[in-house]
Protein backbone atom coordinates (compact mmCIF):
# COMPACT_ATOMS: atom_id res chain seq x y z
CA UNK A 1 0.00 0.00 0.00
CA UNK A 2 1.92 3.01 -1.23
CA UNK A 3 1.09 6.70 -0.97
CA UNK A 4 -2.59 7.24 -1.85
CA UNK A 5 -3.48 9.01 -5.06
CA UNK A 6 -5.99 11.07 -3.07
CA UNK A 7 -7.04 11.52 0.53
CA UNK A 8 -8.95 8.47 1.81
CA UNK A 9 -12.66 8.67 2.48
CA UNK A 10 -14.51 6.93 5.33
CA UNK A 11 -15.03 3.30 4.37
CA UNK A 12 -11.78 3.04 2.39
CA UNK A 13 -9.43 0.16 3.20
CA UNK A 14 -6.22 -1.37 1.97
CA UNK A 15 -3.34 -3.63 2.84
CA UNK A 16 0.28 -2.87 3.69
CA UNK A 17 3.18 -4.83 2.23
CA UNK A 18 3.42 -6.95 5.39
CA UNK A 19 -0.25 -7.96 5.18
CA UNK A 20 -1.57 -5.51 7.78
CA UNK A 21 -5.11 -4.48 6.90
CA UNK A 22 -5.86 -0.75 7.20
CA UNK A 23 -9.46 0.43 7.49
CA UNK A 24 -10.37 4.12 7.48
CA UNK A 25 -13.64 4.20 9.42
CA UNK A 26 -13.96 7.97 9.72
CA UNK A 27 -11.83 11.10 9.73
CA UNK A 28 -9.14 10.47 12.33
CA UNK A 29 -10.16 6.82 12.87
CA UNK A 30 -7.75 4.14 11.64
CA UNK A 31 -8.30 0.45 12.47
CA UNK A 32 -5.21 -1.67 11.79
CA UNK A 33 -5.12 -5.46 11.92
CA UNK A 34 -1.85 -7.38 11.40
CA UNK A 35 -1.89 -10.48 9.23
CA UNK A 36 -1.34 -12.57 12.37
CA UNK A 37 -2.56 -10.43 15.28
CA UNK A 38 -1.27 -10.90 18.81
CA UNK A 39 -3.36 -11.17 21.95
CA UNK A 40 -3.96 -7.45 22.60
CA UNK A 41 -6.56 -5.03 21.28
CA UNK A 42 -5.07 -1.57 21.76
CA UNK A 43 -6.70 1.84 21.41
CA UNK A 44 -4.42 4.88 21.26
CA UNK A 45 -6.54 8.03 21.27
CA UNK A 46 -5.60 11.68 21.22
CA UNK A 47 -7.15 15.10 20.52
CA UNK A 48 -10.30 14.57 22.53
CA UNK A 49 -9.27 18.18 23.13
CA UNK A 50 -8.20 19.65 19.81
CA UNK A 51 -5.40 21.92 21.07
CA UNK A 52 -3.42 19.16 22.81
CA UNK A 53 -0.93 18.78 20.00
CA UNK A 54 1.96 16.64 21.28
CA UNK A 55 -0.09 13.40 21.42
CA UNK A 56 -1.41 14.17 17.92
CA UNK A 57 2.18 14.42 16.67
CA UNK A 58 3.06 11.14 18.40
CA UNK A 59 0.13 9.32 16.77
CA UNK A 60 0.86 10.92 13.39
CA UNK A 61 4.47 9.73 13.49
CA UNK A 62 3.50 6.21 14.54
CA UNK A 63 1.05 5.94 11.68
CA UNK A 64 3.63 7.31 9.24
CA UNK A 65 6.18 4.71 10.38
CA UNK A 66 3.63 1.88 10.13
CA UNK A 67 2.55 2.90 6.63
CA UNK A 68 6.18 3.26 5.47
CA UNK A 69 7.19 -0.14 6.89
CA UNK A 70 9.53 1.30 9.52
CA UNK A 71 7.30 0.08 12.37
CA UNK A 72 5.76 -3.37 12.01
CA UNK A 73 2.47 -3.85 13.81
CA UNK A 74 1.86 -6.97 15.91
CA UNK A 75 -1.29 -6.06 17.85
CA UNK A 76 -4.70 -4.95 16.59
CA UNK A 77 -4.67 -1.19 17.07
CA UNK A 78 -7.29 1.53 16.74
CA UNK A 79 -5.75 4.97 16.29
CA UNK A 80 -8.38 7.53 17.16
CA UNK A 81 -7.95 11.29 16.67
CA UNK A 82 -10.88 12.55 18.67
CA UNK A 83 -11.89 16.04 17.53
CA UNK A 84 -10.62 16.97 14.05
CA UNK A 85 -12.90 20.02 13.88
CA UNK A 86 -11.34 21.47 17.04
CA UNK A 87 -7.85 20.71 15.71
CA UNK A 88 -8.61 22.70 12.57
CA UNK A 89 -9.47 25.82 14.58
CA UNK A 90 -6.73 25.28 17.18
CA UNK A 91 -9.19 25.14 20.07
CA UNK A 92 -9.87 22.79 22.97
CA UNK A 93 -13.32 22.14 21.53
CA UNK A 94 -15.80 23.67 19.09
CA UNK A 95 -18.82 23.98 21.39
CA UNK A 96 -18.46 21.58 24.31
CA UNK A 97 -15.80 19.67 26.27
CA UNK A 98 -15.95 16.24 24.64
CA UNK A 99 -14.38 14.50 27.63
CA UNK A 100 -17.64 15.08 29.53
CA UNK A 101 -19.78 13.35 26.89
CA UNK A 102 -19.10 9.61 27.11
CA UNK A 103 -21.07 6.73 28.66
CA UNK A 104 -24.15 8.10 26.94
CA UNK A 105 -23.83 11.74 28.09
CA UNK A 106 -23.71 12.72 24.39
CA UNK A 107 -27.47 12.13 24.26
CA UNK A 108 -27.98 15.43 26.11
CA UNK A 109 -27.20 17.68 23.11
CA UNK A 110 -26.48 18.00 19.40
CA UNK A 111 -23.23 19.99 19.17
CA UNK A 112 -20.38 18.64 17.01
CA UNK A 113 -18.81 17.19 20.18
CA UNK A 114 -22.02 15.40 21.22
CA UNK A 115 -22.28 13.80 17.78
CA UNK A 116 -18.60 12.89 17.61
CA UNK A 117 -18.63 11.32 21.09
CA UNK A 118 -21.55 9.10 20.04
CA UNK A 119 -19.65 8.07 16.90
CA UNK A 120 -16.48 7.38 18.90
CA UNK A 121 -18.37 5.08 21.26
CA UNK A 122 -19.62 3.13 18.25
CA UNK A 123 -16.09 2.82 16.85
CA UNK A 124 -14.71 1.53 20.16
CA UNK A 125 -17.55 -1.00 20.36
CA UNK A 126 -16.95 -2.12 16.77
CA UNK A 127 -13.19 -2.46 17.35
CA UNK A 128 -13.47 -4.58 20.47
CA UNK A 129 -16.37 -6.67 19.13
CA UNK A 130 -14.48 -7.53 15.94
CA UNK A 131 -11.52 -9.02 17.84
CA UNK A 132 -10.87 -12.75 17.48
CA UNK A 133 -13.13 -14.64 19.86
CA UNK A 134 -10.45 -16.64 21.65
CA UNK A 135 -11.33 -15.60 25.22
CA UNK A 136 -7.74 -14.69 26.10
CA UNK A 137 -7.44 -11.20 24.72
CA UNK A 138 -6.40 -8.08 26.63
CA UNK A 139 -8.24 -4.84 25.96
CA UNK A 140 -6.15 -1.70 26.44
CA UNK A 141 -6.93 1.99 25.95
CA UNK A 142 -4.60 4.93 26.54
CA UNK A 143 -6.27 8.30 26.02
CA UNK A 144 -3.38 10.74 25.53
CA UNK A 145 -3.61 14.36 26.64
CA UNK A 146 -1.58 17.41 27.58
CA UNK A 147 -2.78 19.74 30.34
CA UNK A 148 -3.77 23.39 30.10
CA UNK A 149 -1.26 24.39 32.80
CA UNK A 150 2.07 23.33 34.25
CA UNK A 151 2.14 20.56 36.83
CA UNK A 152 4.22 19.87 39.90
CA UNK A 153 4.27 16.34 38.47
CA UNK A 154 4.78 16.87 34.73
CA UNK A 155 3.32 13.54 33.66
CA UNK A 156 0.46 11.77 35.39
CA UNK A 157 -2.34 9.36 34.62
CA UNK A 158 -5.92 9.16 35.80
CA UNK A 159 -6.86 5.59 36.79
CA UNK A 160 -10.65 5.42 36.25
CA UNK A 161 -13.04 4.06 38.84
CA UNK A 162 -12.71 0.26 39.02
CA UNK A 163 -16.03 -0.42 40.79
CA UNK A 164 -14.21 -2.34 43.51
CA UNK A 165 -11.83 -4.15 41.19
CA UNK A 166 -8.11 -4.29 42.02
CA UNK A 167 -5.46 -2.04 40.53
CA UNK A 168 -3.00 -3.75 38.21
CA UNK A 169 0.74 -3.80 38.88
CA UNK A 170 1.48 -4.50 35.22
CA UNK A 171 -0.33 -1.35 34.13
CA UNK A 172 1.32 0.80 36.79
CA UNK A 173 4.72 -0.54 35.71
CA UNK A 174 3.97 0.08 32.04
CA UNK A 175 3.00 3.67 32.80
CA UNK A 176 6.17 4.13 34.87
CA UNK A 177 8.21 2.93 31.90
CA UNK A 178 6.38 5.64 29.89
CA UNK A 179 7.70 8.18 32.39
CA UNK A 180 4.32 8.42 34.14
CA UNK A 181 4.85 7.62 37.83
CA UNK A 182 2.14 9.86 39.34
CA UNK A 183 -1.33 8.28 39.41
CA UNK A 184 -4.62 9.97 40.26
CA UNK A 185 -7.35 7.55 41.34
CA UNK A 186 -10.88 8.39 40.29
CA UNK A 187 -13.22 6.91 42.89
CA UNK A 188 -16.55 7.50 41.16
CA UNK A 189 -18.14 7.04 37.73
CA UNK A 190 -17.44 9.83 35.26
CA UNK A 191 -18.26 10.70 31.66
CA UNK A 192 -14.64 10.64 30.46
CA UNK A 193 -13.49 8.58 27.49
CA UNK A 194 -11.18 6.32 29.49
CA UNK A 195 -13.90 5.48 32.04
CA UNK A 196 -16.23 4.57 29.17
CA UNK A 197 -13.77 1.94 27.95
CA UNK A 198 -13.36 0.55 31.47
CA UNK A 199 -17.06 0.34 32.28
CA UNK A 200 -18.57 -0.53 28.91
CA UNK A 201 -15.84 -2.80 27.52
CA UNK A 202 -13.81 -4.12 30.48
CA UNK A 203 -10.63 -2.52 29.18
CA UNK A 204 -7.60 -1.42 31.14
CA UNK A 205 -7.88 2.25 30.28
CA UNK A 206 -6.25 5.48 31.43
CA UNK A 207 -6.31 9.21 30.80
CA UNK A 208 -2.61 9.96 30.35
CA UNK A 209 -1.40 13.55 30.81
CA UNK A 210 2.01 13.89 29.16
CA UNK A 211 2.87 17.55 29.69
CA UNK A 212 1.57 21.00 28.85
CA UNK A 213 -0.49 22.23 25.89
CA UNK A 214 1.60 23.91 23.19
CA UNK A 215 0.94 24.84 19.54
CA UNK A 216 1.94 22.51 16.72
CA UNK A 217 5.67 22.69 16.09
CA UNK A 218 6.49 24.00 19.56
CA UNK A 219 6.55 20.67 21.40
CA UNK A 220 9.89 19.36 22.65
CA UNK A 221 9.24 15.78 21.58
CA UNK A 222 12.27 14.54 23.51
CA UNK A 223 10.12 15.02 26.64
CA UNK A 224 7.71 12.42 25.26
CA UNK A 225 10.38 9.93 24.17
CA UNK A 226 9.76 7.33 26.90
CA UNK A 227 6.02 7.27 26.25
CA UNK A 228 6.52 7.10 22.49
CA UNK A 229 9.01 4.24 22.85
CA UNK A 230 6.72 2.19 25.09
CA UNK A 231 3.58 2.67 23.00
CA UNK A 232 5.54 1.58 19.93
CA UNK A 233 6.74 -1.51 21.79
CA UNK A 234 3.21 -2.24 22.98
CA UNK A 235 1.77 -2.43 19.48
CA UNK A 236 4.77 -4.00 17.72
CA UNK A 237 5.80 -6.80 20.12
CA UNK A 238 4.12 -10.03 21.19
CA UNK A 239 4.94 -9.46 24.86
CA UNK A 240 6.45 -6.55 26.74
CA UNK A 241 9.52 -7.27 28.83
CA UNK A 242 8.60 -5.11 31.80
CA UNK A 243 10.65 -4.88 35.00
CA UNK A 244 9.26 -6.23 38.25
CA UNK A 245 6.73 -4.02 40.03
CA UNK A 246 8.44 -1.54 42.34
CA UNK A 247 6.14 0.34 44.69
CA UNK A 248 8.73 3.06 45.30
CA UNK A 249 8.38 4.30 41.70
CA UNK A 250 4.81 5.49 42.15
CA UNK A 251 3.14 8.48 43.76
CA UNK A 252 -0.59 7.94 44.26
CA UNK A 253 -3.23 10.62 44.78
CA UNK A 254 -6.89 10.16 45.62
CA UNK A 255 -9.64 12.64 44.76
CA UNK A 256 -10.76 14.38 47.96
CA UNK A 257 -13.32 16.85 46.60
CA UNK A 258 -14.97 17.87 43.35
CA UNK A 259 -15.90 21.56 43.18
CA UNK A 260 -18.42 22.45 40.49
CA UNK A 261 -19.27 25.83 39.08
CA UNK A 262 -22.96 26.42 39.82
CA UNK A 263 -23.18 30.21 39.49
CA UNK A 264 -22.18 32.82 36.93
CA UNK A 265 -19.99 34.54 39.50
CA UNK A 266 -17.76 31.55 40.22
CA UNK A 267 -14.09 32.45 40.66
CA UNK A 268 -10.86 30.80 41.73
CA UNK A 269 -8.83 32.51 44.44
CA UNK A 270 -5.37 31.88 43.03
CA UNK A 271 -3.47 32.98 39.90
CA UNK A 272 -4.26 31.40 36.55
CA UNK A 273 -0.74 30.01 36.16
CA UNK A 274 -0.73 27.97 39.39
CA UNK A 275 0.46 24.45 38.58
CA UNK A 276 -1.54 21.25 38.95
CA UNK A 277 -0.83 19.46 42.25
CA UNK A 278 0.01 22.72 44.03
CA UNK A 279 -0.49 22.34 47.78
CA UNK A 280 -2.21 25.08 49.80
CA UNK A 281 -2.15 25.48 53.56
CA UNK A 282 -5.15 24.38 55.60
CA UNK A 283 -7.87 27.05 55.66
CA UNK A 284 -6.83 28.77 52.42
CA UNK A 285 -9.77 30.08 50.37
CA UNK A 286 -9.64 28.16 47.07
CA UNK A 287 -12.79 29.28 45.28
CA UNK A 288 -15.96 31.32 45.64
CA UNK A 289 -19.20 30.27 43.95
CA UNK A 290 -21.02 33.58 44.57
CA UNK A 291 -22.12 33.08 48.22
CA UNK A 292 -20.41 29.69 48.78
CA UNK A 293 -16.75 29.58 49.83
CA UNK A 294 -14.45 26.58 49.43
CA UNK A 295 -11.49 26.38 51.79
CA UNK A 296 -8.66 23.84 52.12
CA UNK A 297 -10.00 21.38 54.67
CA UNK A 298 -6.99 19.24 55.54
CA UNK A 299 -3.19 19.29 55.45
CA UNK A 300 -1.70 18.08 52.16
CA UNK A 301 -4.76 18.94 50.07
CA UNK A 302 -3.70 19.90 46.51
CA UNK A 303 -5.52 21.32 43.51
CA UNK A 304 -5.76 19.83 40.04
CA UNK A 305 -7.55 20.74 36.77
CA UNK A 306 -8.67 24.22 37.91
CA UNK A 307 -10.75 26.03 35.29
CA UNK A 308 -13.17 28.79 36.31
CA UNK A 309 -14.46 29.13 32.73
CA UNK A 310 -16.24 25.79 32.50
CA UNK A 311 -19.95 25.73 31.77
CA UNK A 312 -22.28 26.07 34.76
CA UNK A 313 -22.78 22.66 36.31
CA UNK A 314 -19.37 21.34 35.26
CA UNK A 315 -16.32 20.60 37.38
CA UNK A 316 -14.17 23.67 37.98
CA UNK A 317 -11.63 22.15 40.37
CA UNK A 318 -10.55 18.90 41.98
CA UNK A 319 -8.66 18.63 45.22
CA UNK A 320 -6.53 15.56 45.88
CA UNK A 321 -4.57 14.02 48.73
CA UNK A 322 -1.66 11.59 48.63
CA UNK A 323 -2.55 7.97 49.34
CA UNK A 324 -0.06 5.30 50.51
CA UNK A 325 0.24 2.55 47.91
CA UNK A 326 -0.19 -0.14 50.57
CA UNK A 327 -3.82 0.98 50.94
CA UNK A 328 -4.62 -0.26 47.43
CA UNK A 329 -5.61 -3.76 46.39
CA UNK A 330 -3.02 -4.71 43.77
CA UNK A 331 -2.81 -7.73 41.49
Among 121, 209, 279, 322, which one carries the catalytic annotation? 209
Longest CA pairwise span in the chain (Å) = 65
| Cα(136)–Cα(320) distance, integer angstroms | 36
Neighbours of 322 (CB within 10 A): 15
Strands 251-260 and 182-185: parallel
Residue 9 annotated as catalytic:
no
| Cα(236)–Cα(230) distance, integer angstroms | 10
- Coil vs helix vs strand at 221: helix
Neighbours of 328 (CB within 10 A): 19
First-last CA distance in the chain: 42
CA 18 to chain CA mean position, Å: 30
Strands 40-46 and 76-81: parallel
User: Which H, E and C letters describe 14-75, residue by residue?
Assistant: EECCCCCEEEEEECCEEEEECCCCCCEEEEEEECCCCCCHHHHHHHHHHHHHHHHCCCCCCC
Active site residues per annotation: 209
Amino acid sequence: MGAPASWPEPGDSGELDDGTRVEFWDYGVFALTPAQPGSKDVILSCAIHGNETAPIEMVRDMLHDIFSGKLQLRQRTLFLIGNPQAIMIGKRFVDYNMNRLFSGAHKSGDTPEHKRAADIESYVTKFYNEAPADGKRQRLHYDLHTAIRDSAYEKFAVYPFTHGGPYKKEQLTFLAECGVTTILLNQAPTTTFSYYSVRSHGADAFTVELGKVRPFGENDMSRFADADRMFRKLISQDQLDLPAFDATRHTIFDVYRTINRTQQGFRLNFPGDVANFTEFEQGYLLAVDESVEYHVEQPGERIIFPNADVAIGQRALLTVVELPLDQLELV
